[in-house]
Amino acid sequence: MTPIELIVSILSFTIIVNLLLRLSTRTSKPYPPGPRPWPIIGNLPHLGPTPHKSLAAMVPTYGPLIHLRLGSVHVNVAASANIAAQFLKTHDANFSSRPPNSGAKHMAYNYEDMVFAPYGPKWRMLRKICSVHLFSSKALDDFRYIRQEEVAVLTRALTRSGSNPVNLAQLLNVCTTNALARVMLGKRVFGNGDGSGGHQSDEFKEMVVEMMVLAGVFNIGDFVPSLEWLDLQGVAAKMKKLHKRFDEFLSKILEEHKVSGNDGRDGGKHLDLLSMLIGLKEDVDGEGGKLTDTNIKALLLDLFTAGTDTSSSTVEWALAELMRNPKLLAKAQYELDTVVGKDRLVTESDLPQLPFLQAIIKETFRLHPSTPLSLPRIATENCEISGYTITKDSTLLVNVYAIGRDPTVWTEPLEFKPKRFLPGSDKANIDIKGNDFEVIPFGAGRRICAGMSLGLRMVQFTTASLVHAFDWVLPDGQMIEKLNMDEAYGLTLQRAAPLVVHPHPRLSPELYST
C-alpha cells in the first residue's frame, strides 16, 4: 500500500468511526412533533395571548404530545389523558421537580415556598406540615364550622343587597379568603363579619389576580438566559414590585401574631396554622432543615393565592353556567329541596347526598379548570413517552384545558352537561382527585395540589349553598344568552368580566338572619 493509499484509508476509517460515534450518541427516538421554531426565540410566538388555547389548537396537527423549543428550553406538552398519565403516573418520579423560573425567584421567596420548592427534603417537610395540620380529614372536619359560618355570612350579605345587583366575584373572594384566614391565622383578614371586605379586600384580590397573571406569562428571560437582564416584557420588574407588597402584608401578619399574646385559637376551639408554624420553628430540624420566617411567609403566600381565588372563581363559573341553563339550575334546586328542605341551610354533611350538585362541580372543573396549564415540571433524566424521546432538563406542561375538551373522550365537549357524570353514564365513576386523567383540575402525582380536599369541599359547599338559597337573575337590560363567558388568561382561569347578578332569596326569611 502506497503512502497516499494509507493516508486515504486512515482518513476514511476516522470518518467512519466519527460517524458511528455520532450516531451512537444521538437519541434513539425522535422528539415529539411540533411546530417549526423561530431562530433564537423558538416557538414563543406560537403561544399567543392564551397559551392553553393555542396549544390545544395544535393537537389536530401534531397529536396529543407536542414538542416546543422556547428559546433554548425544550418543552413537552401533554394534551390527552393517556399522555398525561404516562408523565404523571408511569414516570411521576422523573417529573417531580420544578424548572427554574422568574415567578418562583422573584415572587415566591426564591423557591422557599411549597409550590415551587425543588423536590426534596424541604418540600417534603412543608408538604407534611400542610397535609397533617391543614388538609387532613381530621383538620377539615375540625374546621368545618368555620366554612359554614363564613358561607352563612356570605348568604346574609347577598340578602342585604335588596334590589341592587351584586358583584358576586367580590363577595365570593371575601368569603373564601376569610374562611381560609380563620384557619390559618385565627381571624378574618377582611371586613367585620358582615360579608363585605371594603377597599382592603379589593386590593388583595387585585394583588392575587396580578400574581396569577404574571405567573402565567411566558417570560422571555426564562427561556433565553442571555436576554434575562434586559427584562424585555417588564415582567421581572412587576414581579419584584408585587412581591414587595405581598411581603409587607405577610410580614405584618407574622409580626402581629408573634406579639398578639393570644393562643392562636379561633373562638377558643382549635389552634390556627400560623401559631402552630411559629411553635414548630424550634422543633422542626430534621432532614428538611429548620423552618424559617421566610418559609412561613412563603407558605402563607401559597395558601392565600392558590387557596382563595381558585375556589371563588370556580364557584363563579358554576353559577354562570347554571344561569345560562335554567333547567339545570331548577334541577339542582329540586335536588337540594328534596334532600335539605326549605327550613334550613345546606351543611357539608349534605354533600354526599347531592349527586347532581357534585356532577355540576365536576362539569365545571372539566370546562373551566382553575389552572388550565399545569405548573411546569422538569425531567431529571431522559425517558421515553409513546415512542418519543423526552430529554433530561426538558420542561413538562400538562394542558388540563385541552384534556377536559378532548373530542375523542367527551361527547359535545364544549357543552355544559353535568349529566355525563351522573350514575349510569359512562363517566359516572370518574374521579377528579388525580386518579382518572380525563379530568385533573388539581393535577396528579407527587406534586398534586396539596389543598385539593379543602378546595373541593369549599367549592361544593359554597355552590350548593348559593343554588339552594337564591334564585339568580341578571341586571335589567342584560340577556342571559349574551352573558359574557370570556376568559382572562393567567396561571388561573379567571372570568374576563366578573359575574354581576341579582340574588332573590327562595327560603324562609328567618334563615337569612341567623
Model confidence pLDDT, tens digit, residues 25-79:
444 579 999 999 999 999 999 999 999 999 999 999 999 999 999 999 999 999 9
Domain boundaries, the chain: 24-513
- HSE-CB at 237 with a 13 A cutoff on CA atoms is 6
Mean pLDDT in residue range 306-312: 89
Q: How far apart are CA 143 and CA 182, in angstroms?
A: 9
Backbone angles phi, psi at 75, to 5 degrees: -125, 130
Q: How far apart are CA 476 and CA 502, in angstroms?
A: 9
- 447-469 pLDDT per residue, tens: 999 999 999 999 999 999 999 99
User: Is a pLDDT exceeding 80 seen at residue 260?
Assistant: no
Q: How far apart are CA 297 and CA 300, in angstroms?
A: 5
SS3 assignment, position 391: coil
Q: Is 101 exposed, middle or buried (0-12, 13-18, 19+ CB in 10 A)?
A: buried
Q: Is 467 exposed, middle or buried (0-12, 13-18, 19+ CB in 10 A)?
A: buried
- Placement of cell 406542561 in the chain: 397
- 386-414 pLDDT per residue, tens: 999 999 999 999 999 999 999 999 999 99
Picking from 236, 251, 193, 205, the residue whose alpha carbon sits closest to that of residue 103 is 236
Amino acid at 245: R
User: Is a pLDDT exceeding 80 seen at residue 226?
Assistant: yes
383 is in an annotated binding site: no
C-alpha dihedral, 167 to 169 to 173 to 176, nearest 10°: 110
User: Is a pLDDT exceeding 70 seen at residue 8?
Assistant: no
Picking from 228, 205, 247, 307, the residue whose alpha carbon sits closest to that of residue 110 is 247
Which of 76-80, 469-473, 508-512 is least confident? 508-512
Mean pLDDT in residue range 260-267: 55
User: Is a pLDDT exceeding 80 seen at residue 194?
Assistant: no
CA geometry: angle 483, 488, 492, nearest 5 deg: 120
User: Is a pLDDT exceeding 50 seen at residue 15?
Assistant: no
- 81-134 pLDDT per residue, tens: 999 999 999 999 999 999 999 999 999 999 999 999 999 999 999 999 999 888
Does the domain made of 24-513 have the CATH classification 1.10.268.10? no
Assess contact for 105 and 114: CB atoms under 8 A: no
pLDDT score, position 138: 93
User: Is a pLDDT exceeding 50 seen at residue 251?
Assistant: yes
- 325-363 pLDDT per residue, tens: 999 999 999 999 999 999 999 999 999 999 999 999 999
Q: Which three cell numbers stand for residue 154?
A: 356570605
Residue 492: pLDDT band by 50, 70, 90 thresholds?
Answer: confident
Q: Which three cell numbers stand for residue 175?
A: 368569603
Q: How far apart are CA 447 and CA 437, in angstroms?
A: 15
Backbone angles phi, psi at 38, to 5 degrees: -80, 160
In whole angstroms, what separates CA 147 from the centre of its chain? Answer: 20
- 414-443 pLDDT per residue, tens: 999 999 999 999 899 999 999 999 999 999
The percent of residues above 70 in pLDDT, for the chain, comes to 91
Picking from 487, 463, 259, 278, the residue whose alpha carbon sits closest to that of residue 357 is 463
Residues forming beta bridges with residue 202, ordered by sequence position: none
Q: Which three cell numbers stand for residue 31?
A: 422528539
Residue 308: pLDDT band by 50, 70, 90 thresholds?
Answer: confident
Q: Who has greater pLDDT, 433 or 269?
A: 433
Q: How far apart are CA 361 and CA 376, in angstroms?
A: 25
Picking from 436, 215, 435, the residue whose alpha carbon sits closest to that of residue 306 is 215
- 370-382 pLDDT per residue, tens: 999 999 999 999 9
Q: How far apart are CA 374 and CA 52, in angstroms?
A: 10
Assess contact for 69 and 37: CB atoms under 8 A: yes
SS3 assignment, position 150: helix
pLDDT score, position 162: 75
Q: Which three cell numbers stand for residue 494?
A: 379567571
Assess contact for 378 and 395: CB atoms under 8 A: yes
Q: How far apart are CA 300 and CA 186, in angstroms?
A: 13
Mean pLDDT of the chain: 89
pLDDT score, position 514: 64
- Placement of cell 385539593 in the chain: 452
Assess contact for 439 and 432: CB atoms under 8 A: yes
